Amino acid sequence: MQEKIVILTGAGISAESGIRTFRDSGGLWENHRLEDVATPQAFQRDPHGVQRFYNQRRAQLRDPAIQPNAAHRALAELERALPGQVLLVTQNVDDLHERAGSHNVIHMHGELLKARCRATDALVPVDGELSPELACPVCGVPGCLRPHVVWFGEVPLEMDRIFDALAGCQRFISIGTSGNVYPAAGFVAEARGHGAHTVELNLEPSEQATAFAEHRHGPASQRVPEYVA
Ligand code: BJW
């Protein structure tokens, strides 16, 4: 039987590409209260402020200096080497996995470079900036478009597909995530409960560290290529 592998990635895998994590020193939540920018209530209350936060992060992602690193590339190579066996579930809203060459990717917390029409749920690419004054290209209503990201209190994307894959995998690898945010933080227990071997690759032990069978600590750009080689 071919081994099925589910890989969960978090902000730590993109840290060495120059994208700030959330909870580390210097992380995004040091300068922004998550209640002000990452909840549906915040968007309702202050659409300009929330759009500004995501416009800044989109501009950063488009900076030519921001490129996939050795960890992203190693995962893309693994998918090529084991066709049909690897599912990459990322909590990240950046596109660095795709730019590195991964195809079988689920963005469970959405994608920064897409916006969603709130009337129809249609997705549109975001070329420039979003603003509450902008007319939605799908339904025509000004201010209808919202960032295609999953805020606190919202249900992450493609959960059925993810839980099916967790139930059917033989190996679960978690990379660069603090294990603070559910449901992703519970994936290790789910996979382990179905008999998978579980591995954590992170700079330091995460909140879920004790749930993993195997640990390799250190920067993703080193630990990931070493592990998947
Ligand atoms: C390196 C490194 C290097 C650094 N190399 N490593 C109890 C049970 C279940 C749910 C809840 C619960 N209590 C509360 C909840 C609800 C809530 C929640 O989890 N809250 C917690 C704070 C407790 N969850 C939700 O609301 C979620 N929805 C939900 O639960 O719906 C109900 C439901 C679920 C399932 C089925 C049915 C119903 C939604 C959560 C949405 C999270 N959204 C955000 C923002 C996205 C948009 C944006 O980007 O702005 O997602 S929050 C933020 O945190 C972002 C991230 O994806 C997420 C996780 O962060 P991540 O990636 O782990 O980053 P950090 O910074 O925390 O950690 C980085 C790690 O990397 C560190 O460990 C470093 O050491 C490491 N690192 N450099 C390797 N070079």
Predicted local distance difference test score (pLDDT) of residue 1: 80
217 is catalytic: no
Query: Does the domain at residues 20-65+111-149 carry the CATH identifier 3.10.450.50?
Result: no
CB within 8 A of 66, min separation 6: which ones?
17, 18, 19, 60, 94, 96
Instruction: Indicate the domain borders of the chain.
Output: 1-18+67-109+156-229, 20-65+111-149
CB atoms within 10 A of CB 206: 23
Task: Evaluate: CB of 149 within 6 angstroms of ligand 1.
Answer: yes
- pLDDT at 119 (0 to 100): 96
Q: What is the pLDDT of residues 73-111, one digit of tens each?
A: 999 999 999 999 999 999 999 999 999 999 999 999 999
3-state secondary structure of 193: helix
CA of 178 to the centre of ligand 1 (A): 8
Q: Which helix H or strand E contains 173, and what residues bound it?
A: strand 171-175
> Which architecture does CATH list for 1-18+67-109+156-229?
3-Layer(aba) Sandwich (3.40)
Mutate-to-test residue for ligand 1 from 7, 22, 51, highest number of ligand atoms within 8 A of CB: 22
The residue ranges of the chain whose pLDDT is under 70 are none
Residues 166 and 187 sit within 8 Å (Cβ to Cβ): yes
* 26: amino acid identity, one letter: G
Q: What is the pLDDT of residue 15?
A: 98
Full-prediction pTM beyond 0.95? Answer: yes
Check pocket membership of 36 for ligand 1, CB cut-off 6 A.
no
Minimal-distance CA residue to ligand 1 atom 12: 182
Burial degree of 92 (CB within 10 A; 0-12, 13-18, 19+): buried
ipTM of the complex as predicted: 0.94
- Nearest to 50, CA basis, from 35, 61, 63, 64: 35
216 Cβ contact partners less than 8 Å away, ≥ 6 residues apart:
199, 200, 201, 223, 226, 227
Rounded-to-5 percentages of helix, strand, coil across the chain:
35, 20, 45
- Amino acid found at 89: V
Catalytic residue among 72, 97, 107, 109: 109
189 contact partners, CB below 8 Å, separation of at least 6: 208, 211
**Does 17 count as an annotated binding residue?**
yes
